[in-house]
Structure 1
Amino acid sequence: MAEADRDAERRDRAVTLRDVAAAAGVSVSTASRLLDKRYEGSSPGNARRVREAAERLGYTRDYAASSLRRQGTSTIGVLVPRLSDAVMGILYEEIARECERRDVQALVATTQDDPAQGRRAAASLLSRKVDGLIMTTARLDDGFAEELRAARVPHVLALRTAGDSPSAVTDDRLGGYLAVRHLADLGHRRIGIIAGPRYASSARARLEGALDGLREAGCDLDDDLVRGDGFSVEAGEDAAGDLLDAGIAPTAIFAVTDHAAIGAMAAAARRGLSVPGDLSVVGFNDIPLARHLPTPLSSVRASLDLIAQASVRMLVDGETSNLVFPPTMIPRASSGPRAAG
């Protein structure tokens, strides 16, 4: 069927956003975003095709329906473990910024990574009639996300996954792999890993990716080289202390967060070791502090801005995708060649 005939067929019925997206060769979510006047400056080529298709087909945006999708309150709840964590603080700021662009208000609640407190915080937000939840607190040892799905509560998981809920995350396994391969390429063969809590999908995947990298590079695979179960500076310092005080200490450490990596650098300094002369260190997330340390920290960069934007879009537009954003290895002064000897 010719394009003109398809256009005529569409005009014989109510033209939908899906019709416009198909005619312009983009996804429905992209068409929706590019028809929003607040995004007139983005993706000029796609935007022109979408608007030309809408005009040709006689499409008129139904703002009432859009409002109904948000159930009328234009407010979303955001659950984070704590705002004192730089990653969570940055992500929430990006979420709030995207909400402002969409005329949506964000309300935040903290859980201290405690499942019971997380349920109470979610109940409090839902009692305020928020249209849905963005959660950075998903746990593999807790069925809360499944409970929300069963109750038909709109929600999106950010940074961590659990079950079949819509999510926007970093490719954590790839990030762990990139970190270890970076160290292996510098000549390190005995690489310690500071792991995070096993209930967090992000920590598990980063550990799995790191082990992938160790196996591929032919590095030592020793259970004694994996330590730690927390994301904090204190957890990182304790875990690094265990690694450095072992019989055969590692020449490099990969920590699954920048905070834990900073703790590892502190542990090295307490033992009179230099970074990277005696010990190379790599973290994960690339928080702003990483590049401003006396010895700037090598880190795997996560696209927190893209994750935040996608989380808001998915919740507001009712998308049910599982989006994975690629990480980038950022080498800095904290990682260097293995010392001879």
Structure 2
Amino acid sequence: MSLDAEGVSRRGVTLKEIARRTGVHVSTVSRVLRQAPPPDGWSDVALKIRETARELGYQPNPWAASLRTRRTGVLGAVMPRLTDGVIAKMYQGVQQAAEEAGYSVLLSSPEDDLVAMKKAINLVVGRYVDGLILSGLRRPGPPFLASLNVGNTPVLLLSRHADTDLPSVTSDDYEGGRLAARHLVELGHQRCGIIAGPKDASTASERVAGFLDGLKEAGLRQDRRLIVPSGFGVNGGVEAARVILGDKDRPTAIFAINDDAAIGALGVARDLGITVPTGLSVVGFNDADVSAQLPVPLTSIRTQPRVMGATAVHRLLRLMGNEEVGSVKLPVELVVRSSTVAPPGVR
């Protein structure tokens, strides 16, 4: 074994070597190098330990640590549709919060269906993650969740909730739907189309339920023919909007369950020669970055995807500490832009 001029092994600096240099016990070195920065700053002894470790090029051994603590320092995240800008922001929140807490993230982004999700979940858990964040599940029932091979791994749902006791972090999707309905009603719209998203996605169903209740509160009834299921993407919005705008009694407004679907509706309106907003008002959901930059800036319900991701990590860490953790809904707000005005005959 070769040594440097100070007698330190080049094969790897040990805690004992740092303890010898600093004149403290090995357990003190271990504790200082593992803990997060305290609120009132490092003590002089802790600063000396950390500086010595840096000078010697100390690198912790994650495998040895995991054997001692039965923790790997890794969180799992299974998040389909990561190409979606909103979901990408959620993951940024997950990644940043995990790093700040001293964890790395093992990410899988499978196809958005239960078979692919199950395979990805079992693969990630098989890598011995300390906790698991699941996003994109299509309202999974207890049988599906029970079929997952997660063992004792704590699990938290992100941007979805399920009919189980699993905790979740979502936007207040129901309230967002109500805000969209109230906005259109206040402008004078009485006949609305709804691009409703997948029937088995909790985000979509909550947003539609809120919108319908918002209309009901105003004394309006929704024509069920104008509630059209769709995918989450632009193409889903296009297909649903063609049905809605092909109705002989065409609505004066469309509510879409996300901004991509709303953009699809804007394209169909253009192709049919319908001017937005004077001939058709459109409201989206999530307030994606592109929404304000469209030729007709899109009115949308603003959510907080990065905050959602970070909140999911914080609550998962509490679960991992055996705390009782419930579900949380983050607030939303209506952002009014040029895509909504009063309908013809009201202006």
Q: TM-score, normalised by structure 2?
A: 0.76
Kept in 2: contact 1:191–1:220 (CA 8 A) = no
Q: Distance in 2 between matches of 1:181 and 1:159?
A: 24
**2:97 maps to what in 1?**
98
Q: Distance in 2 between matches of 1:238 and 1:217?
A: 29
CA RMSD in angstroms comes to 2.4
User: Counterpart of 1:140?
Assistant: 139
Quote the residue 1:262 is aligned against.
Answer: 263
Cα separation, partners in 2 of 1:70 and 1:336, compared to 1, 3 Å: farther
Q: How many residues align?
A: 283
SS in structure 2 at match of 1:333: coil
- Counterpart amino acid of residue 215 in structure 2: L
Change (3 A) 1:123 1:300: same
Cα drift, residue 37 of structure 1:
3.2
Match runs of 1:232-251 below 5 Å: 232-251=233-252
Cα distance in 1 for residues equivalent to 2:311 and 2:69: 16
Give the Cα–Cα distance (whole angstroms) in 1 for the partners of residues 69 and 275 of structure 2.
54
Tell me whether 1:335 sits opposite 2:336 in the alignment.
Answer: no
Which residue in 2 is equivalent to 1:5?
A: none
CA contact (8 A) 1:138 1:145 kept: no
Read off the aligned partner of 1:145 and give its amino acid letter: L
**Do the aligned residues in 2 keep the contact of 1:157 with 1:167 (CA within 8 Å)?**
yes
Could you list the per-position Cα deviations for residues 119-140 of structure 1 after superposition, in whole angstroms to 9, with x for gaps in the alignment? 1111111121111211112222
Q: How does 1:1-341 map to 2 (within 5 A)?
A: 37=37, 71-142=70-141, 143-147=143-147, 151-162=151-162, 163-318=164-319, 319=323, 320-340=325-345
Question: Which whole-Å CA distance do the structure 1 matches of 2:272 and 2:335 have between them?
Answer: 26
Q: Deviations over 1:23-68 (max 9, x none)?
A: xxxxxxxxxxxx9537779xxxxxxxxxxxxxxxxxxxxxxxxx99
**5+ unaligned residues in a row in structure 1: which ranges?**
1-34, 42-66
- For the pair shown, the structure with the greater C-alpha radius of gyration is 2
Identity of aligned residues (%): 39
Query: In 1, Cα distance between the equivalents of 2:272 and 2:40?
Result: 56
The 8 Å contact of residues 195 and 229 in structure 2, kept in 1 or not, is answered as: yes
Q: Distance in 1 between matches of 2:40 and 2:134?
A: 30
Change in Cα spacing, 1:39 to 1:288, as seen in structure 2 (3 Å) is: farther
Q: TM-score, normalised by structure 1?
A: 0.78
Equivalent-residue separation in structure 1 for 2:216 and 2:81 (angstroms): 35
CA deviation after TM superposition for structure 1 residue 314, in Å = 1.3
Tell me, yes or no, if the aligned pair for 1:140 and 1:201 is still in contact at 8 Å.
yes
Output the amino acid matched with 1:81: P
Letter in 2 for 1:325: L
Q: 1:69·1:316 contact (CA, 8 Å) conserved in 2?
A: no
- CA–CA separation in structure 2 for the residues paired with 1:327 and 1:92: 19
Question: CA–CA distance in 2 between the matches of 1:225 and 1:116?
Answer: 31
Compared CA separation, residues 116 and 331, structure 1 to 2 (3 A): same
Amino acid at match of 1:169: T
Q: Could you list the per-position Cα deviations for residues 273-323 of structure 1 after superposition, in whole angstroms to 9, with x for gaps in the alignment?
A: 111111100011111111111111111111212211111011122242211
Determine the C-alpha separation between the residues in 1 that align with 2:215 and 2:276.
21
Question: Against the structure 1 CA distance between its residues 167 and 71, is the aligned structure 2 distance closer, same or farther, given a 3 Å change threshold?
Answer: farther
- Flag the 1:270–1:108 CA change in 2: closer, same or farther, 3 A: same
Change (3 A) 1:239 1:308: same
Any idea what SS the aligned residue of 2:170 has?
strand
Quote how far apart the aligned CAs of 1:220 are: 3.8
Whole-Å separation in 2 of the counterparts to 1:254 and 1:91: 23
Shift of 1:221: 1.7
For residues 316 and 338 of structure 1, do their structure 2 counterparts lie closer, same or farther at Cα, with a shift above 3 Å needed? same
For 2:236 and 2:83, the matched residues in 1 are separated by 15
Amino acid at match of 1:161: H
In structure 2, the residue corresponding to 1:195 is in which secondary structure? strand
On the 8 A contact 2:292/2:298 being kept in 1, the answer is yes
8 Å CA contact 1:173–1:206 kept in 2: the answer is yes
Quote the Cα distance in structure 1 between the aligned partners of 2:144 and 2:150: 10
- Aligned residue identity for 2:122: A
Instruction: Mark the CA change 1:98 to 1:224 in structure 2 (over 3 Å): closer, same or farther.
Output: same
Secondary structure of 2:343's aligned partner: coil
